[in-house]
Structure 1
Amino acid sequence: MRTLILDERDDRVIVTLNRPAARNAINAAMIDDLHAVCDLLERVPRPLLLTGAGGAFAAGADIAELRARDRDKALQGINSRLFDRIARLPMPTVAAVDGYAIGGGAELAYACDVRLATPATVFGNPEPGLGILAAAGACWRLAELVGRSVAKQVLLAGRQLPAEAALACGLVADIVAPEELLGAAHRLLDRMTAWSPAALRLTKLVLDAPGVHPLADDLAQAVLFETEDKHDRMTKFLERRRRDSDA
């Protein structure tokens, strides 16, 4: 990995964006590296923890590279295809965001399932100031996360969302001190990994499925109802409740 620090564990994968001199701006090499991470997690599904080195998450995309891109490059959706792939990873993804998540960095965070922040966290999408739009998911994903009114304030009026505002509108799940950020993210993943992997995977699939409810819910539940894992977990629950009632 040229631009990432990869920590692969049995029950999770931790990825640190590692271009601190550029505040982890997303360039072509980082895009390639993140695609390699997606290859890994599609082959062996595990939760992903995504964070940034050096007190920043990702302060945008590499502007020099963006300036050189033409219409044909735009139509390839270089960033948007990657972020959509991250959003569609089979297991939950958590973004631990310290410092700036701006432009493409914000869109990368939006693509994750859950975001945690520190008091220094700031989200923003100033792309129109550079003559472009936030075309890697923010124009529709941000509205899904925080509502159309707040999304328009960010995308059309240049509003930035510091940590408290991001928490108030539901963009982040919690605000923790910088030194506690990774610990909080790992505790969140600990809760996830204690649950049924199949149930987590199908819950995410159904939750993100567009316009197919309740059929998708029924089909996913039908699959889970036949698993040994479901039977074992419910048996343990009933046994625990029986012991509690007898005590």
Structure 2
Amino acid sequence: MSDRRLRIETLDDRVIVSLDRPATKNAIDAEMVAELHAVCQELETDPKPMIVTGGPEIFAGGADIGQLRERRNVDALAGVNSGIFDRIARLPMPTLAAVAGYALGGGAELAYACDFRIGTPTVRLGNPEGGLGILAAAGASWRLIELVGEPLAKEILLAGRTLNAEQAREVRLLNEVVDADQLLETANAWVDRMLRNAPLALRMTKLALRMPREAHPTFDNVAQAVLFETDEKERRMTAFLDRKNTERKQK
């Protein structure tokens, strides 16, 4: 039996990563983190969109509590989980979490680190870390404020509120809710839609969205200067103008 934590499907234009620890509800342990780092290294070298899923029933019930119990201050300072989630957030191309069932604790933080989240009606998102004597230190304490605002972030982190699928969709923590048998198909359709854009333009736009306010508009001007000199820009704009000319002639 394989002891790998991930199933990875590498396609020409995307990578689909499936968390594969069903006996532990896809608990995120050090071995899974190491495998996720390996995926990130590949996607930093050969940028493609990434879909992360746990399957049609559960995303990830949290971090591996058995391992967490044994970790000490040096482990916390090393940022085992926060490091990989931050690396995922910084990947050059967009990322999407296809979420079913429970996404709690570290599982929720993995979903928060992705650019988009598609969910099923069974989704339950929350961060119960305080009940275990720790805090949500792998991104939730600040990403949630960016994603849903401070009042709701406090409800989740301090008052232990868990969001169901409809509640998460209403605050855009889920971008779309679909039936479980359509989850991966819908995630791929989102990637298809993004890939209609020029790849470098997609990368530059994602990077621009991560820039602090004081970096704009300087960053935007420099990024646009790079894109203005690409063959892709010339080809796409020429094709656009040719279509418009053809349409005018046909009227």
CA RMSD of aligned residues (A): 1.0
Q: Which residue of 1 aligns with 2:97?
A: 95
- Equivalence for 1:205: 207
Q: Report if aligned partners of 1:14, 1:50 keep a CA contact under 8 Å in 2.
A: yes
Cα displacement (A) at 1:172 = 1.1
Q: Could you list the runs of 5+ residues in structure 2 that have no partner in the other structure? A: none
When residues 74 and 154 of structure 1 are mapped into structure 2, their CA distance, relative to the original with a 3 A threshold, is same
> Percentage identity across aligned positions?
57
CA contact (8 A) 1:20 1:53 kept: no
**Number of equivalenced pairs:** 247
Q: Compare 47-56 and 69-78 and name the one that shifted more.
A: 47-56
- Which residue, out of 83, 88, 92, partners 2:85? 83
Q: TM-score, normalised by structure 1?
A: 0.98
**1:120-139 matched pairs, under 5 angstroms:** 120-139=122-141
1:189-235 Cα shifts (integer Å, max 9, x gaps): 11112210000000000101123111111111111111110111111
Give unpaired runs (5+ residues) of structure 1. Answer: none
Residues of 2 paired with 1:100 and 1:241: CA distance? 49
Residue 43 of structure 2 aligns to which amino acid in structure 1?
L
Deviations 1:48-104 (CA, angstroms, capped at 9, x unpaired): 011003611011000010010001110000000000000000000011001111000
Q: Tell me how far apart the structure 2 counterparts of residues 58 and 241 of structure 1 sit (CA, whole Å).
A: 48
Q: Which amino acid aligns with 1:176?
A: V
State the partner residue of 2:144. 142
Q: Which residue of 2 aligns with 1:39?
A: 41
Large movers: runs of 4+ above 4 Å: none
Which runs of structure 2 are paired with 1:1-247 in the superposition (5 Å)? 2-53=4-55, 55-211=57-213, 212-247=215-250
Give the secondary-structure state (helix, strand or coil) at the position aligned to 2:203.
Answer: helix
SS at match of 1:96: strand
SS at match of 1:170: coil
Counterpart amino acid of 1:242? N
Query: 1:147 corresponds to which letter in structure 2?
Result: G
